[in-house]
Chains A and B, each alone.
Chain A
Amino acid sequence: MYTLQVNGISHTVDVPGDKPLLWVLRENLKLTGSKYGCGQALCGACTVHLDGHPVRACVTPISAVGEQAVRTIEDIAYDAVGAKVQETWQNLNVPQCGYCQSGQIMAATALLTDNPTPTDRDIDEAMSGNICRCGTYPRIRRAIHKLANGGV
């Protein structure tokens, strides 16, 4: 039995300790916005925030989550930066298939919260762990620069 805080709500789940957070979110808590892409922290589609830091939920065993606050894409609109990121993503038609975008948005929100005026190199460092097979990188970069200039 593990008790975890997800999007401000306490949940108790009966799962083995090695079950990754991603699958607890998706299967036990029915929060399917975080995606499975690789299972090895290679693609970033599963990115969630643990105490505000972006982590790959697919390689985070539930036993390692402990008291840390889990935040997922379903809740990021309640974050001032997250809401702006979502809005800009829509306005610039960033998503294509959209499958990786939950992870991209969680990574971008963490970046902009940490560093409201990222350089291109900052963007490369923060976002290169998130694969987009549709190739929306130019628009993601443009969206982040736009948010930086708009003063998040």
Chain B
Amino acid sequence: MSAESSLSRRHFLRLSIIAGGGLLVACGGSSSKPSNNLSPSEPEDNGPIVEQQFGDFLKIGSDNSLTVFVGATEIGQGILTGIAMAVAEELDADWSKVKAVHSPVAIEFNNPYFGSAMQSTVASASMRGYYKPQRQIGARIRQLMINTAAARWQVDAARLQTEAGYVIDPVTNRSISYGELSADAQESDIPATAELKSPEQYKIIGTSQQRLDAASKVDGSLIYGIDVDIPDMLTAVIARPPRFSGQPLIVDSNAALAVPGVLEVHQLAIGVAVVAEDFWSAEKGRKALEVTWNELLASRTDSELQRSQYELQLNLPGVPIRVDGAVVPAQLLAAETVQADYYFPFQAHAAMEPLNVVIDYDGSRAEIWTGTQSPTLDKLFASLILGLPPTQINFHIMPCGGGFGRRGNWLGDFVRDACQVAAAVRKPVKVMWSREDDMKGGFYRPAAAVRMSASLNTQGEISAWTHRSVTQDMTAFLYGEKLFDEVVELNGGTLPALDKVTDFDSNFVYDVSNVLMDFHLVANLQMPALWMRSVNKYTDIFAQETFLDVIASRSGEDPYQFRRNRLSEAPRHLAVLNAAATAANWGQARSGATMGIALMGHWNSFIAQVVEMSISADKEITIHKITSAIDCGTAVNPDLVIAQVESAIVFALSSIFYGEITLDDGVVQQSNYDDYRVLRMFESPEMETILINSTEDPGGVGEIGVPCVGPALANAIYAATGATIRELPLRNLGYSMAEQHPEAGGQS
């Protein structure tokens, strides 16, 4: 790992070329805008600021500013801020002068969580992967600053201290800023190791800080991929087949080319690209296009048919993911076995920023700008399609207007499509997806069927627990995709066995000796599916946690106590369960209301959520409050952890009430936010989030707030009405959402 090795000055210079860094000179200057800018202050206009780069990951300016290069993608989760905090903590930087930017796409920035094989912002893995190595970077540069000051002052380095961007000599009371030391510091090697702080020494980690990108996200100045504008740039849209894997057969482009502003039409394998001076002309050109599609090999996936197939498959044993004890003998000896089947449809991520890629390709080199969670593989696919070595591709990771997994496609679908257009156009081009393109474009959360069973012995205790899922698996899809094989081979690797790379265990932790989890990992190459925020936990935790309440009710046990009494091996689960129940005043729901609870641990984090709600006779639901207790180990920026839980709750409620993509004989039926509803302000309930303090390593927080909301709500409905919810979205079962803040007036 390059981050761990000693970086000589020569090494540093070589790497800074990759990083596009080195000695950088920026001019100071103050903005003429009215001052509402609360971000790190702009430098005073007192001459040029000289920035020195140290290693791959940071630059220090002569104004004592710190710029941190972050390998993970900012998709709203706040990772630019979080990783900068980790670096600044160990460096003892002045937090008010810290900036964070996306790194280049280069191996130095690969996420250690994925074996340092790639930059990929998925699996709630960014803080988990980068936390320690980035702190080490900060600590080593801090030691470099101390060594440099010690040499300048001719004193023993051991007596020097650091604080907020300064090296301090407590004996002589002298101090000097990192900025002033940075030029001299370039002359020395970066120390190979440095001691990390212990948690009680933290001044930045564990404090709630404003996001570094907050200012640029409230004044419209942040440049997303869709905002990239380069000289002579054209805009293209792609007419796609009505069914996945269809291809254009006959294209009549006369009417399209007659639209003012439309310049070119290209027939491609994936569809027909209409290239114009601007988006509006391109859209009009596309509407005027006449295409006959070859659909001989096109997808005929049909939602209803698929559901019946999946439900049949539930009867067959799948690939075992977890086998504890001996389930079959326990089932044979059981007094009773209870079973329930569940079904969940396809869902679209529906991020606010539709997909888009800007490519400047002239046949010998390319520059690419796109908001992506998977830049390493995107760049590799671009090099394969454009026929360029990766060194001839300058790839810019742009901030994303939402990701939720859609921008983290290891198959690089949108970059591949855009590269096909660019290869035909050979001029700077922005390839745009309309909302409808994005919604109909596939790579959905896959549909899933789940079967739960519990066997009860004569004492009524659970003696065996089984959990079987049928779902289209991204991993299985990757295995079927020839291009992915090529990419893996290009990297000198081979694909590991399928069941070794799945992460489908729901982490069932209750005290049951005999547990069997198995999966049917369906690969449907014609029906593109992908991970979506919390992946299979959304469906599998829903089934697990609602089924648990059904079992608890058979013995008349309280759902909270039922869980609490079966967590002897899971202290962190137990702690969040107790914390959520206490904060929600479990057992004391307001008049006419009921509560439901659900619990899970994954991504090295743990959460319990309680939903308190009322339901009317016509199934209209008012959620009074959602209480969450989360243990994510060290919460680097507690306010942003809470923000992620809030975000996840709203995201989950959209899925639970509305989230459904349907296919009729291969044709996607939804197109925009009118027929694919997501939660709106009036449906957003009260929420309270409790953070359990911990000094464990940070766990993931981007996804863990999603899966328990559904079962907690379903359990509250079960408590109120006795109705068991075995499929989602709730809208299909006649449930609706009331206005969540009906009282006129009042503080929320």
Chain A residues with CB under 8 Å of chain B are 15-16, 18-20, 23, 26-28, 30-40, 42-43, 45, 72-74, 76-78, 83, 85-87, 89-91, 93-102, 105, 119-121, 123-125, 127-142, 145, 149
Contacts and interface: CB of A to CB of B under 8 A. Distances in A.
A142 B404 CA distance: 25
Given A35-B226, A98-B76, A99-B224, A74 B219 contact: yes
B434 A39 contact: yes
Nearest to B404: A133
B215 A90 contact: yes
B497 to A, nearest CB: 36
A133 B643 contact: no
Interface string B626-652: 000000000000011001001111110
B153 interface: no
15 contacts: A38-B435, A74-B221, A78-B34, A86-B218, A87-B36, A98-B218, A99-B353, A120-B741, A120-B746, A124-B739, A124-B741, A134-B76, A134-B402, A137-B680, A141-B684
A141 B681 contact: yes
A145 B686 CA distance: 14
Interface in B18-75: 33-34, 36, 38-39, 74-75
B401 A98 contact: yes
Contacts of B278: 19, 23, 27-28
Most buried by A among B221, B401, B639: B401
Contact of A35 (B38, B235, B401, B640): B401
A38 B673 contact: yes
B352 A99 contact: yes
A40 B226 contact: no
Nearest to A149: B747
A97 B210 CA distance: 14
Interface in B201-231: 210-211, 213-224, 226-227, 229
Nearest to B356: A36
A72 B640 CA distance: 28
A149 B747 CA distance: 9
A30 B221 CA distance: 11
A135 B679 contact: yes
Contacts of B434: 39
Given A77-B33, A137-B681, A102 B78 contact: no
Given A77-B36, A93-B640, A137-B679, A40 B672 contact: yes
Nearest to B278: A27
A133 B406 CA distance: 13
B142 to A, nearest CB: 28
Nearest to B221: A33
B226 A105 contact: no
Interface string B284-304: 000000000000000000000
